[in-house]
Amino acid sequence: MTSISIIGSGKMSGAIAEVATRAGASIQIIKRGAESMSAARPGLDYGVMGDKLIGDLVVLAVPYGAYPSIVERYRDQLREKVVVDISNPIDFSTFDQLKSPADSSTAAELVKLLPAGTAVVKAFNVNLGDTLASGTNGTTRTTVLFAGDYADAKIAVAAFIEAAGMRAVDVGPLTRARELEAMGFLQIVLAALGKTRYESGFTLLE
């Protein structure tokens, strides 16, 4: 059984916690400063920023802009973890571009912040939160696309996804995060425009 620490306590944190519950994982949720918290659920271990991370997988469920402060706080611990980047750094003032560099990705920028050799996996960013919480995307089983450079880390993330009853699709090395982020951005725009429901979105047909 795997264990997971989720940093952040917003909507995506709750969705990933539902996934972890289905996967039978032990769960720690690290609250940031003064942010609001959904009601505590049994089986979840709540902590605050600075608490030791108990999970083998660590999901950053915070805005991209908060990555440097998270890494500053947890740098040494993250070196031993599988760090999961789920972000879509949309500029919500314009809904017209990403805040990450055009030739890069939040995942690639995160790698630069972390100790050399830290395993980062991009995952879950092309899934609207409701499709993770429910495990279904429209009438299909939810497919989770992921990318990374370390085989062991990718196997761990894929096992977590599959244990939660979803389909895991490895799209390649971490450089593919750029395309995953473009797709995640497009999906959020389409949901906001009403072109897809928040309970569905993109999928990869078999």
Identify residues 37-96 at the interface with a second copy (CB under 8 A): 96
| CB closer to a second copy out of 155 and 169 | 169
CB of 140 to a second copy, least distance (A): 7
- Strands ordered across the beta sheet of 3-7: 44-48, 26-31, 3-7, 57-60, 82-85, 119-123, 143-148, 167-170
Secondary structure letter of residue 169 according to DSSP: E
For residues 120 and 86, the answer to whether their CB atoms sit within 8 Å is: no
The pairs formed by 47-50 with CB atoms below 8 angstroms and a separation of 24 or more are 49/7, 49/73
The residue within the footprint of a second copy, chosen from 6, 114, 137, 153 (CB under 8 A), is 137
- What is the footprint of a second copy within residues 149-188 (CB under 8 A)? 169-173, 175-176, 178-180, 182-183, 185-186
Q: Write the interaction track for a second copy spanning residues 187-206; mark x where CB under 8 A is met and - where it is not.
A: --xx--x-xxx--xxxxxxx
Nearest to 124, CA basis, from 14, 2, 41 = 14
Contact between 116 and a second copy (CB under 8 A)? Answer: no
**Which chain residues interact with a second copy by CB under 8 A?**
96-97, 102-103, 137-140, 169-173, 175-176, 178-180, 182-183, 185-186, 189-190, 193, 195-197, 200-206
